[in-house]
Amino acid sequence: MPFYIYLAAEGMSMAASAAAAAVGAGAVALFRLNRLPSSPSTSYRSCLLLKGLRAFAPFPYRYHFASYSTSSLLSQEAAAVASQLPRSHAANTSSNVVEILEQRGLLESLTSDGLRSVCSSSAPNQPPLRVYCGFDPTADSLHLGNLLGIIVLSWFLRCGHRAVALIGGATGRVGDPSGKSSERPELDLETLHKNISGISATIRHILSRAAPTPDSVSILNNYEWWKDVRLLDFLKDVGRYARVGTMMSKESVRKRLESDQGMSYTEFTYQLLQGYDFVHLFRQEGVSVQIGGSDQWGNITAGTDLIRRILRVEGAAHGLTFPLLLKSDGTKFGKSEDGAIWLSPSKLTPYNFYQYFFSVPDDDVVRFLKMLTFLSLEEIARLERDMDTPGYVPNTAQRRLAEEITRFVHGQEGLDEALKATEALRPGAATKLDAKTIEGIGEDVPSCSLPYDQVLSLSLLDLSVSSGLLESKSAARRLLKQGGLYLNNSRVDSEAKKIEANDIIDGKVILLSAGKKNKMVVRVS
Ligand SMILES: *[C@@H]1O[C@H](CO)[C@@H](O)[C@H](O)[C@H]1NC(C)=O
Ligand SMILES: *[C@@H]1O[C@H](CO)[C@@H](O)[C@H](O)[C@H]1NC(C)=O
Ligand SMILES: *[C@@H]1O[C@H](CO)[C@@H](O)[C@H](O)[C@H]1NC(C)=O
Ligand SMILES: *[C@@H]1O[C@H](CO)[C@@H](O)[C@H](O)[C@H]1NC(C)=O
């Protein structure tokens, strides 16, 4: 529960004791030194208050100075006291992010338990950690598989730490390390730049909504430091410290060595490239934690090893991996019949993104609520209990999952757009359709164009076939008899129904539906 306290000249000692009591009871205090008091004695009291509250540290708090109306000397004094407080922007500093991740099924392995104690609230005066996750620019958009990295970074942000997203611009030039595409044709710098800007934009959009302050998130590209590294320097500064035996024993390497095509030297070196990224970020940017999917374990430990050997520091760098997102049948979650679940709205509309989560099976929904949303565990437990009660409306938990995650990825506007399209496309929906709404969902559902005079007076059964919605007139007739054929969301019962002028919405479009799922937008020209 956030606890707000406005420090003003009057009633300060009462406010102070109330705040202290609330903080002692585990509340989050937000200090807003709204108007610093005008007389020296009250100003000192505000300093004393901050000093006194420090005795309760570690506690989650925020402070904020606004509209100084008095002598800046006095405000500076209060600011100096405040700046000595353990952590600034965190509202959740008392929560141990490692424990949160563990409770939510987002923790697979840690390189050492040191990270757990660094994150624990009994480690006061600990500055915020800087945490990084790498993203390879192998496509022009991120997909669902990348989302867990962004979610884990967001949990660190929520617990008062800072996030760095590292785009692999250098590693992207080297080629696909997994050797999936055996030989890269000549390097296509244009698509590489497009890919980098596409995924940077998505990360920026999502993380900036999750960030308490703009400076708690940065996006870096490793090409910035790799472009000037010469081979001889690399061998001297990095290669000398890397043990080939260790590199060979990594599972991903062993697997590739056993395969028919073997492994290229470039691919073998990939773990050193990624390992050195961590060295660079540790040294130059104060980054001490790397997170990644469980398939990144070898690359992450290559980094912590190099930091130990090159910089000769023990236990200062940490790695954390999260599990892959699997369905309960063991297959990978994140692919639909039409391909990957992209995070960029230009590749997959918010409506289709929303629908994908809406149709998650009941067996998976609770686990996904924990992993993919920020809802409290109590709330998720309540949704789970409701699923077993009589009268449960099917897909209520899925709806919540779809809403939370669509809002996280596409923002409130994206969610509104998805909900609007969902409602407009719901058979039997009462909302009045207009051409603009239908145009808006034009990307979400299949569409076709037919000339006006061909459509007018055509029977609905014929239109269902000529538009491509159904395969044959007999199939259309059968569906109509079953009550599954809809024109502009209204069910049609008569086989004789012909398209009239007022069925063509705003003289431009018709919406046909076959059952709940199959739609066709007929653009009339
Ligand atoms: C950029 O993305 C496209 C697909 O969107 C992919 O075919 C291409 O290989 C990517 N470029 C690099 C350098 O990975
Ligand atoms: C603090 O953490 C809890 C979950 O432990 C979360 O629900 C809440 O939104 C977080 N508060 C902030 C301000 O991030
Ligand atoms: C390093 O990352 C690449 C790219 O994701 C992956 O193909 C490879 O298996 C990883 N290697 C190790 C040793 O973790
Ligand atoms: C759409 O079709 C329905 C069903 O025939 C009709 O009642 C309605 O007037 C048509 N036009 C609009 C704008 O909904």
Domain segments of the chain as ranges: 2-83, 97-322, 349-424, 435-524
Q: What's the whole-number mean pLDDT along residues 438-449?
A: 78
Render pLDDT for 202-233 as a digit per residue (tens, 0 to 9): 999 999 988 888 889 999 999 999 999 999 99
Q: Is the CB of 457 under 6 A from ligand 3?
A: no
Ligand nearest to the CA of 154: 2
Q: What angle is formed at CA 241 by the lines to CA 238 and CA 245, rounded to 5 degrees?
A: 120
Integer angstrom CA distances of residue 41 from 63, 78, 81, 332: 21, 12, 16, 64
Render pLDDT for 432-442 as a digit per residue (tens, 0 to 9): 777 777 776 76
Q: Is residue 486 exposed (0-12), middle (13-18) or buried (19+ Cβ within 10 Å)?
A: buried
Q: Say whether pLDDT at 28 is over 80.
A: no
How far is the centre of ligand 1, averaged over its atoms, from the C-alpha of 187 (Å)? Answer: 10
Q: Is residue 284 exposed (0-12), middle (13-18) or buried (19+ Cβ within 10 Å)?
A: exposed
How far is the centre of ligand 4, averaged over its atoms, from the C-alpha of 258 (Å)? Answer: 64
**Per-residue confidence (pLDDT) for residue 122, from 0 to 100:** 60
Q: What's the whole-number mean pLDDT along residues 497-525?
A: 88
Four-residue CA torsion sign, 464, 467, 469, 471: positive
Q: Is the CB of 249 under 6 A from ligand 3?
A: no
Which residues form ligand 1's pocket by a CB distance below 6 Å? 137-140, 172, 191-192, 195
pLDDT range class, residue 473, cuts 50, 70, 90 = very high
CA 472 to chain centroid: 43
**What average pLDDT is seen over the chain?**
81
Q: Say whether pLDDT at 62 is over 50.
A: no
Q: Which of 390-394, 427-431, 463-467, 496-500 has the lowest mean pLDDT?
A: 427-431
Render pLDDT for 289-332 as a digit per residue (tens, 0 to 9): 999 999 999 999 999 999 999 999 999 999 999 999 988 888 88
pLDDT range class, residue 492, cuts 50, 70, 90 = very high
Percent over 70 (pLDDT), the chain: 77
Domain at 349-424, CATH homologous superfamily: Tyrosyl-Transfer RNA Synthetase (1.10.240.10)
**Per-residue confidence (pLDDT) for residue 74, from 0 to 100:** 41
Render pLDDT for 366-384 as a digit per residue (tens, 0 to 9): 999 999 999 999 999 999 9
Ligand 2 nearest-atom number relative to CA 375 = 7
Angle between helices 265-285 and 251-258 (to 10 degrees): 160
Topology of domain 97-322 in CATH is: Rossmann fold (3.40.50)
* Residue to mutate (ligand 3; options 271, 291, 300; most atoms within 8 A of CB): 271
435-524: which CATH number, 3.40.50.10210, 3.10.290.10, 3.40.630.30, 1.10.1240.10?
3.10.290.10
Q: Say whether pLDDT at 479 is over 60.
A: yes
User: By alpha-carbon position, which residue is closest to atom 5 of ligand 1?
Assistant: 139
How far is the centre of ligand 1, averaged over its atoms, from the C-alpha of 174 (Å)? Answer: 12
Ligand 2 nearest-atom number relative to CA 158 = 14
Q: What angle is formed at CA 515 by the lines to CA 468 and CA 360, rounded to 5 degrees?
A: 110
Residue with the bigger pLDDT between 507 and 181: it is 507
**Per-residue confidence (pLDDT) for residue 378, from 0 to 100:** 94
Q: Do 120 and 153 form a contact (C-beta atoms < 8 A)?
A: no
Residue with the bigger pLDDT between 34 and 426: it is 426
Ligand nearest to the CA of 248: 3
**Per-residue confidence (pLDDT) for residue 309, from 0 to 100:** 94
Radius of gyration of the chain from its Cα atoms, rounded to whole angstroms: 29
Ligand 2 nearest-atom number relative to CA 376 = 7
User: By alpha-carbon position, which residue is closest to atom 2 of ligand 2?
Assistant: 92
How far is the centre of ligand 4, averaged over its atoms, from the C-alpha of 433 (Å)? Answer: 8
Distance CA 129, CA 333 (A): 31
Q: Which of 245-259, 342-356, 438-452 has the lowest mean pLDDT?
A: 438-452
How far is the centre of ligand 3, averaged over its atoms, from the C-alpha of 131 (Å)? Answer: 19
Please provide the DSSP assignment of 192-234 as one string: HHHHHHHHHHHHHHHHHHH-SSGGGEEEEETHHHHTT--HHHH
Residue with the bigger pLDDT between 410 and 88: it is 410
Q: What's the whole-number mean pLDDT along residues 173-199?
A: 73
Ligand 2 nearest-atom number relative to CA 374 = 7
Render pLDDT for 38-53 as a digit per residue (tens, 0 to 9): 444 444 455 445 555 5
pLDDT range class, residue 180, cuts 50, 70, 90 = low
Ligand nearest to the CA of 181: 1
Q: Which of 114-123, 218-227, 395-404, 447-456 has the lowest mean pLDDT?
A: 114-123
Q: Which of 57-71, 457-471, 474-488 has the lowest mean pLDDT?
A: 57-71
Residue with the bigger pLDDT between 56 and 416: it is 416
How far is the centre of ligand 1, averaged over its atoms, from the C-alpha of 303 (Å)? Answer: 26
Q: Do 23 and 56 form a contact (C-beta atoms < 8 A)?
A: yes
Ligand 3 nearest-atom number relative to CA 296 = 14
* Residue to mutate (ligand 3; options 136, 299, 321, 324; most atoms within 8 A of CB): 299
pLDDT range class, residue 4, cuts 50, 70, 90 = very low
